[in-house]
Chains A and B, each alone.
Chain A
Amino acid sequence: MVQIDYMLMISRQGKVRLMRWFCPYSAKDKNKICRELTTTVLSRKTKMCNILEYQDHKVVYKRYASLYFVCGINSDANNELLTLEIIHRYVEAMDTYFNNVCELDIIFNFSKAYEILNEILICDGAITETSKHSILKTVASMDALETSDNLDQVLS
């Protein structure tokens, strides 16, 4: 069982490209977490452990090219390795969707990145779908609906 408290995507330049909060945090806390984790994660050496203790919980992160995927999880109830697996599944789904995803794809299609994440994790941070095929099929259906809407606009 994994229940993620928050997920951040941070670039190598220290910019937060995506953030999803699954627990209630105040704006001040969110800012603090983003700021501190950006510094902490970026300053870690490549071969250091991908799990670290932060405040009263654990942080699991993984770097893919120029992006760091950072997840905050509750220390007791969650499995760190499963969290790493969720991150990997998310990256794989985006990689297939964007056909070799890069930071630029996420910047210019951030809503798609959120939609894919929504298919993997539900609003309380628990995993809802593990099948990459199912995730992408749903996203493709949403794309088709969007295209259909565009055509309706032309006809109207």
Chain B
Amino acid sequence: MEQEETKHNHAVEILPSKVLIVFSNEVLNREDILMNIFNVSVDPSRQIHRDVHWSNKYFTVNFDIYIDEFDYLDEWVNEFCCAEFDDLRQALAGCILIMPCKDRNTGNDGNLYKLALLGKCKGWDEKFAIILATDLNVDEDVRCRLEQGLLETGVELTSVTGSDTEKEYGETFGIQRIKEVIDTFEWPPEMIKRRDQTAGKLTKFLEEPAFPLEDIMSQLQQARAKYLKMNPGEERDNFAHEMADELGRNLYGSSPVSDLFF
């Protein structure tokens, strides 16, 4: 029982702080691909890159990149899913497979479907798995079937060139889609640093000019400090009134506050 509890605690402690990149041995421009995804110069001959910085408009996060390669996908999947790698899988946020998807991989019994094993692996819940096809040499119907078949198993397929449908609907594909998947992964709160971000800028609907809120807040704090230092009296009251008027102008322009809402 105690052993079980220790095991459980051990599992909880492992943060998904690594992203595994797996290249097919047929992919040659690895450095370019890694540069495009992570925007850093990554030496593909090194297998581990620590503290790669990732940022978007909402947060920044640092994670490690592990790089692996395979000759045969089915062998790699079988090895990756074995119990020996339980801890590694738990430490992963997800896995990005970079490979050409040719006819031999894409049939109903093709190698790609072996990736369904990933979904059944211990500790693979809530992780992402995405294939970046450097060359998707199949017709549209086969591609659709393949995409849907993989999605059912929790693996997404995107290609460097994008499908006709993706282009038609202006959807993200290839490297951009991979970035989106990394962005939307549920990174543990202790790993991310939130950035200040005001969600919407809807001042035009209020028919009022935009205002720099940060500046106003800082001015307010300075004003409050100054007010507290002043001696009680008329001068202090005048100062407070002036500040209130100034704040009103900054926030709501010349309109009375009540006009905004009715």
Q: Which residues in A have some Cβ–Cβ distance to B below 8 Å? A: 11-15, 39, 42-47, 63, 65-66, 97-99, 102-105, 107-109, 112, 133, 136-137, 139-141, 143-144, 147-148, 150-151, 154-155
How far, in whole Å, are A72 and B247 apart by their CA atoms in the complex? 47
- Mask, B26-56, CB within 8 Å of A = 1, is 0000000000000000000000000000001
Q: Is the CB of B224 within 8 A of A154?
A: yes
Query: In the assembled complex, which residues on chain B have CB atoms less than 8 Å from the CB atom of A98?
Result: 199-200
Tell whether, in the assembled complex, residue B220 and residue A97 are in contact, meaning their CB atoms are under 8 Å apart: no
Given contacts A46-B165, A140-B206, contact A12 B183 (CB under 8 A): no
Does the CB pair A103–B260 fall under 8 Å? no
- What A residues does B202 contact at CB under 8 A? 97, 136, 139-140, 143
Q: Tell me if B261 and A151 are in contact (CB < 8 A).
A: no
How far, in whole Å, are A150 and B216 apart by their CA atoms in the complex?
Answer: 11
The residue on A at minimum CB distance from B141 is: A45
Binding site for A on B (CB under 8 A): 56-59, 128, 144-145, 148, 151-152, 154, 156, 165, 169-172, 177, 180-181, 183-184, 186, 197, 199-203, 205-206, 213, 216-217, 220-221, 224, 247, 251, 260-261
Q: How many A-B residue pairs have CB under 8 A?
A: 100
Residues on A with C-beta less than 8 A from B220 are: 151, 154-155
Residues of A within 8 A of B156 (CB): 12-13
A104 contacts B199, C-beta separation under 8 Å: no
Contacts of A104 in B (CB 8 A): 56-58, 180, 183-184
B200 touches A99 (CB 8 A): yes
B169 proximity list for chain A (CB < 8 A): 63, 65
Q: Is the CB of A12 within 8 A of B200?
A: no
Known contacts A66-B172, A66-B180, A98-B199: A141-B260 contact under CB 8 Å = yes
Asked whether B213 lies within 8 Å of A103 as measured between CB atoms, the reply is: no
Which residues of chain B are within 8 angstroms of A112 by Cβ–Cβ distance?
Answer: 199-200
A residues in contact with B128, CB < 8 Å: 13
Task: Give which listed residue, B184, B197, B199, B261, contacts A103 with CB less than 8 A.
Answer: B184
Interface contact A133-B171, CB-CB below 8 Å: no
Question: Known contacts A98-B199, A104-B56, A104-B184: does B151 contact A144 (CB below 8 Å)?
Answer: no
Residues of A within 8 A of B59 (CB): 108
| Residues on B with beta carbons closer than 8 Å to the beta carbon of A150 | 217
- Secondary structure of the B contact surface, majority rule: helix
Q: How far is the CB of A91 from chain B (nearest CB, A)?
A: 13
| Nearest CB of B to A93, in Å | 10
- Known contacts A46-B165, A141-B260, then 13 further A-B pairs from the complex at CB < 8 Å, ordered by chain A residue: A13-B156, A13-B181, A42-B148, A65-B170, A66-B177, A97-B202, A104-B184, A108-B197, A136-B202, A136-B205, A140-B200, A151-B217, A151-B220
Q: Given A66-B172, A140-B206, A144-B206, do A107 and B152 touch, yes or no (CB 8 Å)?
A: no
Give every chain A residue within 8 A of B148 (Cβ-Cβ).
Answer: 42-45
Question: Known interface pairs A66-B180, A104-B58, A108-B197. Does A42 touch B151 (Cβ–Cβ under 8 Å)?
Answer: yes
B200 x A139 contact (CB < 8 A): yes
Q: Which residue of A lies closest to B211 (CB)?
A: A147
Please, how many angstroms separate the alpha-carbon atoms of A13 and B186 in the complex? 12
Are A13 and B217 in touch, CB under 8 angstroms? Answer: no
The answer to whether B184 and A11 have CB atoms under 8 Å apart is yes
**Nearest neighbor of B177 in chain A, beta-carbon distance:** A66
Q: Are B180 and A147 in contact (CB under 8 A)?
A: no
State in angstroms the CA–CA spacing of A99 and B204 once bound together: 12
A-B contact pairs, 7 of them (CB 8 A): A46-B165, A103-B180, A104-B56, A104-B57, A139-B200, A144-B260, A144-B261
Cβ contact within 8 Å between B152 and A39: yes
Chain B residues near A108: list those with CB within 8 A.
Answer: 58-59, 197, 199
